[in-house]
Amino acid sequence: MEQQNATISKIERLCTDIVRLTLYAPSIAAKAKPGQFINLKTGPGFDPLLRRPFSIHNIDGEGHLQVIFKILGKGTSALADLRQSQTINIVGPLGNHFQASPSMCLIGGGLGIAPLLFLARSILGQQDVPTLKIILAARNKQELSCFTPEFEALDLPLYLATDDGSLGHHGLVTELMPTALSGDTDWQVCSCGPHPMMSAVATICRQHKWRCQVSLETMMACGISACLGCAVPASDHNNTGKQYLHVCQDGPIFWEGDIKWT
Amino acid sequence: MDIKTPKLAVNIGDLCIANPIMTASGTFGYGREYENFVDLSQIGAIVVKGISLQPRPGNPPPRIVETACGMLNAIGLENVGLDRFIQDKMPYLRQQNCCVIVNVLGDSIEEYCQLAEQLNDVEGVSGLELNISCPNVKKGGVAFGTNESMAHAVTNAVRKLTKLPLIVKLSPNVTDIGAIACAVEEGGADSVSLINTLIGMAISIKTRKPILANVIGGLSGPAIKPIALRMVYQTADRVKIPIIGIGGISTWQDAVEFLLAGATAIQVGTANFVNPKAVEEIRQGLTEYLVEQKMESIKELTGAAKR
């Protein structure tokens, strides 16, 4: 991990409130693995004070990395107002990463779709490419379309769903899982999205004895395990006495069995 | 042209630190967390995460929330406990040649005493900082940090057991911080560090509930700097022992202000979260300021705002 000033190569509004930020940060991009995140300072001042963590959406092999975010508050509004060729202070790559397996299904919801592109591309770049399926969902067509072009270009089995039915299946990702994951295959699921979605995906995986990794998000101050602010309850199935895990250090990627789902 | 390098060394009791920039407990982990960003041996002193006799799991989440120019935390003193600190964390810090001050916390005077006794002979421990800002103690449930006689009692009990430089970290959530400072000076403290966080809270207008699971938390960051500075300024008139200024210090200019107010050294806290190189940048800035001001020693700054 390192701290550096990265130049904004491109900043694009993918729809009204979703922004894709392309940064030139060669040393961080070179080290990054799918599932890891960077911590961005939104500006030079003290308000907003804290950095904002974003999972890495994509890297291009030429020193660029991308993140995608939704404009929700002060920090993301400040970021959205940045312009090409401005610099931004980033720390990364942070956290652990997804692990590959011979038969994989990536399930993303909303902005949680972001890290799955990097993961899918990285899996396709392996020597032995595993069976790979992708299920993506969002609120509506507008939101989902911010992500679909890059995934469609991968030419993989792609299943889409929206809450309002404006694109793909009208409903939840979990309703697409039986179709996408039929057969006796020993699947490994990698999921990122709203907490209830990941919880539901994890439940289905447990029923089928599929391994399942989830990417968690919490409030975070430092991103380097100094503040201990990003705690999540642990299942502690090994009885180590550990009540909490830390998203920045133990995650953001967790085996679903390690989490105490609430 | 011969420009003298200004002297940055200062004394905290018998402890001489190479520069007055320390890290505040709870914002710098056990040091190693920052090894990729700063040269740990160059930090005046690393005050490690508060250590208790037994490991503590900490509070349920959410533990932190951002506020205007600051943040609230209710980590709940999560730490590895004394044994694991000595076994797992100290060897690395010794190897890096760091000046290590151990922040200790307990629920009773006996616990503070046990911690001090066990840390006395640990190689590489340069000093103790008593965290007397934690609530719910055995004796009547009053916080050590908000009661003069209890603050005196815990300081005095630990003083009798250790020759290590003894710093007592004060809570700002009191009517008269100077009175507590006097009490711990009287109890034998070598230094007081102030301020710890200010109690605050945040409520979600969406859920209509407090955001922190603990409901209240400690406010830190640039938002609290003017209050901390005032408390340092006023406490400097009350005690003779050196003061370590803490509270929202994010830049070298902030550090200069605290020194001018009467601090001998300063601790950088929340700024470490935002800028992991903060301590290094502050040291650099301070040095350049001294050169520019043609000062030979940083000691000339301490309390200068009062002269």
Whether complex ipTM tops 0.90: yes
Check residue B175 and give its pLDDT.
95
Say if CB A41 and CB A4 are below 8 A apart.
no
Nearest partner of B45 among B296, B276, B265, judged by Cα: B265
Give the chain B residue whose CA is nearest to the CA of A249. B33
How close does chain B come to A6, measured CA to CA in Å? 15
Beta strands in chain A (DSSP E): 2-15, 18-24, 37-40, 52-55, 58-59, 64-70, 87-94, 103-109, 131-138, 158-162, 169-170, 188-192, 211-215, 231-233, 244-246, 253-255
Write the residue in A3, A46, A231 that is nearest to B61 by C-beta.
Answer: A231
Q: Which residues on chain B are in Cβ contact (under 8 Å) with A78?
A: none
Q: What is the pLDDT of residue B45?
A: 98
* Of the listed ranges A52-61, A123-132, A189-198, B277-286, the one predicted with least confidence: A123-132
Indicate whether B83 belongs to any domain: yes
| Tens of pLDDT, residue by residue, chain B (307 residues) | 456 789 999 999 999 999 999 999 999 999 999 999 999 999 999 999 999 999 999 999 999 999 999 999 999 999 999 999 999 999 999 999 889 999 999 989 999 999 999 999 999 999 999 999 764 444 434 578 889 999 999 999 999 999 999 999 999 999 999 999 999 999 999 999 999 999 999 999 999 999 999 999 999 999 999 999 999 999 999 999 999 999 999 999 999 999 999 999 999 999 999 999 999 999 999 999 999 999 999 999 999 999 8
B122 neighbors B89 (Cβ within 8 angstroms):
no
Are the C-beta atoms of A252 and A217 separated by less than 8 Å?
Answer: yes
| Element holding B101 (H helix, E strand) | strand B100-104
Which residue range forms the structural domain that includes residue B110?
Answer: 10-58+77-198+221-306
Instruction: Count Cβ–Cβ pairs < 8 Å, chain A vs chain B.
Output: 99
pLDDT value at residue B1: 46
pLDDT confidence of residue A126:
86
CATH topology of domain A2-94: Elongation Factor Tu (Ef-tu); domain 3 (2.40.30)
Determine the residue of chain B that is closest to A45 in CA distance. B69
Distance from CA of B64 to the nearest CA of A (A): 6
Please give the pLDDT value at position A236. 82
Distance CA B26, CA B267 (A): 11
Residue A110 has pLDDT above 50, yes or no: yes
Residue B211 lies in a domain: no
- Catalytic residue list contains B134: yes
- Is B273 within the bounds of a domain? yes
In a domain, B3, yes or no: no
CB contact under 8 A, A244 and B273: no
pLDDT, tens only, A161-188: 999 999 999 999 999 999 999 777 889 9
- DSSP code for B86: I
Phi, psi torsion values for A87, nearest 5 degrees: -110, 160
**Cβ atoms A145, A166 nearer than 8 A:** no
Tell me the fold of A103-215: Rossmann fold (3.40.50)
Contact with chain A for residue B124, Cβ under 8 A: no
Which of B98, B99, B134, B182 is catalytic? The answer is B134
pLDDT at residue A216, as a whole number: 97
Count of alpha carbons within 13 angstroms of residue A62, beta-carbon side: 3
First to last CA, chain B: 32
Continuous segment of H or E residues that includes residue A248: none
H/E stretch holding B47 reads strand B45-47
Which two structure tokens, joined as six digits, stand for A82? 């940045």
Interatomic CA distance for residues A238 and A54, integer angstroms: 30
Give residue B134's pLDDT: 60
C-beta atoms surrounding A212 within 10 Å: 23
Q: Do A41 and B274 touch (CB under 8 A)?
A: yes
Contact B19, B44 (CB under 8 A): yes
Contact call for A227 and B73, based on CB within 8 A: yes
Whole-structure pTM value:
0.95
Q: Is B65 on the interface with A (CB under 8 A)?
A: yes
User: Is the separation of the CB atoms in B161 and B120 below 8 Å?
Assistant: yes
Chain A residues within an 8 Å CB radius of B73: 221, 227, 229
pLDDT over 70 at A210, yes or no: yes
Count of domains for chain B: 1
- Cross-chain Cβ contact B29/A46 below 8 Å: no
Using CA coordinates, name the residue in chain B closest to A1.
Answer: B36
Res B3: pLDDT:
61
Is position B44 within any domain?
Answer: yes
Average pLDDT of chain A is 95
Q: What pLDDT, on a 0 to 100 scale, did the predictor assign at position B136?
A: 42
- Which of A28, A227, A261 has the most B C-beta neighbours within 10 Å, making it the best mutation to test the interface with B? A227
CATH number at residue B188: 3.20.20.70
Tokens 């990122």, located at residue: A192
Is A227 an 8 Å CB contact of chain B? yes
Contact A208, A182 (CB under 8 A): no
For residue B71, is it within any domain? no
pLDDT at B5: 87
Position A120 scores a pLDDT of: 96
A239 sits in the region (left: phi over 0; alpha: psi -120 to 50; else beta) called left
Q: How far is B223 from chain A (nearest CA, A)?
A: 9
**Chain B interface, mutation test: which of A49, A250, A260, most B Cβ atoms within 10 Å?**
A49
**Arithmetic mean of pLDDT, A29-58:** 96
Domain definitions of chain A by residue range: 2-94, 103-215
Is 90 exceeded by the pLDDT of residue A127?
Answer: no
Q: Give the nearest partner residue to B64 out of A41, A227, A232, using CB atoms.
A: A227
3-state secondary structure of A33: coil
Interface check A43 vs B, CB under 8 A: no
pLDDT at position B137 is: 44
Give CA–CA dist A193/A217, Å, rounded.
Answer: 9
Closest-CA distance of chain B to residue A241, Å: 9
The C-alpha torsion from A180 through A186 and A190 to A191, rounded to 10°, is 50
pLDDT band of residue A27 (cuts 50, 70, 90) is very high
> How close, in Å, is residue B113 to chain A by CA atoms?
26
Q: For B264-288, what is each residue's pLDDT tens digit? A: 999 999 999 999 999 999 999 999 9
* B 238-297: CB under 8 A from A: 250, 270, 272-277
What pLDDT score does A238 carry?
Answer: 81
Length of chain A: 262
> Looking at the predicted structure, is the pLDDT value of residue A262 above 90?
no
